[in-house]
A and B are shown apart, each in its own frame.
Chain A
Amino acid sequence: MAFTLYSLIQAAILCINAVAVLHEERFLSKIGWGVDQSVGGFGDEPGIKVQLMNLIRSVRTVMRVPLIGVNSVCIVLLLLFG
């Protein structure tokens, strides 16, 4: 398996896109992963599920706007250079 740095960047972009398209109220709340279901963990150890939900929510909040630019650049590059 021969990787280039560009394939790593492509894989990372695809993964972050996958996390960003998870809709809050249509999907995450239905399976119990919404933001309003994570307030149980007071004290010290939040647990894996709460950490994962926090991670998903923060990735969606932070990466929403930069992903627009990065995806556009990626699309243009793929169209031009295949």
Chain B
Amino acid sequence: MDLPHHGYRATKQRARGAPPTGDSVLFEDTSSAASGASSQGFYAPGYNMGEPSNHMQGGVGVNNLFTDPMANAAVMYGSSLANQGKDMVNKEISRFMSVNKLKYFFAVDTRYVLKKLMILMFPYTHQDWEVRYHRDSPMTPRQDVNAPDLYIPTMAFITYILLAGMALGIQKRFSPEILGLCASTALVWIIIEVLVLLLSLYLLTVHSDLSTFDLIAYSGYKYVGMIFTVLCGLLFGSDGYFVALAWSSCALMFFIVRSLKMKILPSLSSDSMGMGSSAKPQLRLYITVATAVFQPIIIYWLTSHLVR
């Protein structure tokens, strides 16, 4: 009667007391390890992501967890197995993409998201498009509103899929297969666009600091425009659809040209020794403008069948 209660309380105390002792624990806070590992990394000095581990302390150090030592040994063995599996998965994933770099793109807050959405819909009054750096590494989206992030594109993509399902349902054309088809179509177009951009940047030897994730982020910003267009098309009919399409196309083209101009165009102005440099800025301008012009086309392509 008294014993199970004591065991339950002691288990909870053990769960709080385990991390400081460094025992094999099931859910450790990898963000603090990551911010310690990437010391020059993407987090500003004042920002501390190791906070969640602070309130896991306070362990009393009660060691008689289970009265049955076999169960105790089994728990420790199971948690060490899970830990090994987790380490292996992390190692495999970090061979393909750097998880730290991915975390940089998701370090956003509400103020950044609101300002970025405003800029995406009305970029004409935004003055300073320069991405700020902090000791030679780009600042996180929390501190710099011009930094690309992956949170808005991901959320916008998912919202677009849900909105497409709703639009099809309103017109009584819905079936679950169409939803999956719509999602994979949009995903395939993003992949194609990112691959074409990477190929053209490689062929023209543009040594910019645009990584693959940056390109995915900039390609994903068009989903915000798509959502706005589809909403206006659903609310106001065909006229509202075309007005919203024109508005979001212009805004998005302006945004893409201003953002990519900073990264692509002047990045090689220091070592262009006049050898064929007359061709280069033109070709880079073509890339930027072609990217911008591609956005309205794909917005129209992916949304016109939703709004009839």
* A residues in contact (CB < 8 Å) with B: 1-5, 7-8, 43-48, 51-52, 55
CA distance A45 to B185 in the complex (A): 37
Contacts of B191 in A (CB 8 A): 8
Q: Does B70 lie at the interface of the complex (its beta carbon under 8 Å from any beta carbon of A)?
A: no
Is B275 a contact of A3 with CB atoms below 8 Å? Answer: no
Complex partner residue of B205 from A1, A3, A5, A51, CB under 8 angstroms: A51
Q: Does B273 lie at the interface of the complex (its beta carbon under 8 Å from any beta carbon of A)?
A: yes
Is B203 a contact of A45 with CB atoms below 8 Å? Answer: no
Is B273 a contact of A44 with CB atoms below 8 Å? Answer: yes
Q: How many pairs of A and B residues are in contact by the CB < 8 Å rule?
A: 42
CB distance from A10 to the nearest CB of B (A): 11
Chain B's interface: helix, strand, loop or mixed, by majority?
helix
Once A3-B189, A51-B202, A52-B203 are accepted as A-B contacts, the answer to whether A45 and B280 lie under 8 Å apart by CB is yes
Is A51 a contact of B203 with CB atoms below 8 Å? Answer: yes
CA distance A1 to B192 in the complex (A): 14
Contacts of A5 in B (CB 8 A): 184, 187-188
Contacts of B277 in A (CB 8 A): 45
Is A4 a contact of B184 with CB atoms below 8 Å? Answer: yes
Is A45 a contact of B188 with CB atoms below 8 Å? Answer: no
Is A45 a contact of B205 with CB atoms below 8 Å? Answer: yes
**Given A2-B185, A3-B184, A45-B205, 14 new contacts (CB under 8 A):** A1-B185, A2-B181, A3-B185, A5-B187, A8-B188, A44-B272, A44-B273, A45-B277, A45-B280, A46-B205, A47-B276, A48-B203, A51-B203, A51-B204
CA distance A29 to B292 in the complex (A): 37
Contacts of A44 in B (CB 8 A): 271-273, 275
Q: Nearest residue in A to B277 (C-beta to C-beta)?
A: A45
CA distance A78 to B23 in the complex (A): 51
CB distance from B154 to the nearest CB of A (A): 17
CB distance from A63 to the nearest CB of B (A): 15
